[in-house]
Structure 1
């Protein structure tokens, strides 16, 4: 996405929280930048390590003791709501009575396998918070940093490992869990519609358009919905509308990437690509629009 100051500030907040907490919660609505900020920070930490490895004279200044997070990152993403608690934490097999590791156990063993490896490992729980499974992680989130299994085994968490949660809200989370985690809140100002538009232009429009010295703000379409006769039945967020249009933009933009047009033809087709999906969306919903 566009590197706006708000987006950069959220990335720095995530980094600052990681320096003091090993358990974090990114809280916010869908399409507010939670996953993007996390992956941008992970990529940036890996690039910093590559730069430091190429500059031996900086190794002493940026030592591991001072900057313990300047290392590549591996992310283990888990959707806890898509599986049962036994599949998540492990259980004893019904017939043999043999212990079977769950997904969290497998991820934890992978994180502690190479302790000497200079690499950060983040376990990301990307699912709504549920008291049925998150309460069992309290022993990991507190200072003990240990996963206690029903088999009696205890898996200790390394200093290179962090637990992260991407959630919409904390309605069912207990105070015991919330107090153990660092909180980063993502509102709708982190990623706005203008950022989505610029991102779509960079990823979907032909390369020759990016070489034109054109102010994106001048070609940004502005639509106004008017519903004087009835109230709004279902509210639609700006980012949701932009996300729905991305498929149409991708479909119409790709066939023209190899063509050669004049500057006037390029601008004419650009406006057609931008306005046609919006017009179709509004027309299908029988809403008058003013451009």
Structure 2
């Protein structure tokens, strides 16, 4: 609805195609893009027959400029693809409460979220960021454990952070960045956080 109100002269089919394309491309690996665009062409035949009416990507130019400013300030190269990834990250955060930044080492994943966080601050959107490397400690130290000696529950690093962040009264965005290798030992317990429940289930039955 907001897309149509912003661009009333653009056909609804074109708006829908652009929305599907722009919000799914960041989540698809390059090898699968051929299949995705093939499906998109089947759903929207005008994409193939009338390429001129395919709408261009609609990006937040202001945020893009702020990201470029942050890159220059931090001594990073404001590469076009990197800036696009920062904007795509912001777009995904608008519709998802949990987002993965995937890629090989030194691909720019950490710099992506740091750049976006600083760019949002320039825009006036103060974001509280807590950065944790989940592989730096044991799983029980991350989520918490029951002491065998006292039978008392001891909060882990992540559960403690989530309690503290949840107690902050303001409505500003709060990011908990688990910046490290993806591992089944710690990611499995995050399933209930990543799905619609948005709840962290601990061994203490909380």
Q: Bin the TM-score by the shorter chain.
A: 0.5 to 0.7
The runs of 4+ residues in structure 1 deviating greater than 2 Å are none
Task: Write the deviation string for residues 174-206 of structure 1: whole angstroms up to 9, x where unpaired.
Answer: xxxxxxxxxxxxxxxxxxxxxxxxxxxxxxxxx
Distance in 1, matches of 2:94 and 2:165, equals: 18
Partner of 1:41: 116
For residue 155 of structure 2, the aligned residue among 65, 76, 101 is 101
Distance in 1, matches of 2:135 and 2:121, equals: 30
Displacement of 1:89 = 0.7
The within-5 A match list for 1:1-291 is: 1-49=76-124, 71-114=125-168, 116-153=169-206
Mapped contact 2:145–2:154 kept (Cα < 8 A): yes
Distance in 2, matches of 1:7 and 1:79, equals: 23
Task: Write the deviation string for residues 108-151 of structure 1: whole angstroms up to 9, x where unpaired.
Answer: 0111012x313221111122111111111000000110011111
- Structure 1 unaligned spans of 5+: 50-70, 154-291
Aligned residues: 131
Structure exhibiting the larger radius of gyration computed from Cα positions: 1
SS of equivalent to 1:124: strand
SS of equivalent to 2:197: coil
Displacement of 1:82 = 2.0
Backbone CA RMSD of aligned residues:
1.2
User: Structure 2 length as normaliser, TM-score?
Assistant: 0.61
Distance in 2, matches of 1:128 and 1:4, equals: 25
Task: Write the deviation string for residues 218-260 of structure 1: whole angstroms up to 9, x where unpaired.
Answer: xxxxxxxxxxxxxxxxxxxxxxxxxxxxxxxxxxxxxxxxxxx
User: Structure 1 length as normaliser, TM-score?
Assistant: 0.44
SS of equivalent to 2:89: helix
Distance in 2, matches of 1:109 and 1:119, equals: 16
Distance in 2, matches of 1:85 and 1:30, equals: 22
SS of equivalent to 1:123: strand
Displacement of 1:106 = 0.8
- Between Structure 1 and Structure 2, which shows a larger proportion of helix residues? 2
Displacement of 1:36 = 1.1
Mapped contact 2:192–2:201 kept (Cα < 8 A): yes
Mapped contact 2:97–2:194 kept (Cα < 8 A): yes
Greater RCO structure (CA 8 Å; 6+ sep): 1
Distance in 1, matches of 2:79 and 2:187, equals: 34
- Structure 2 unaligned spans of 5+: 1-75
SS of equivalent to 2:116: helix
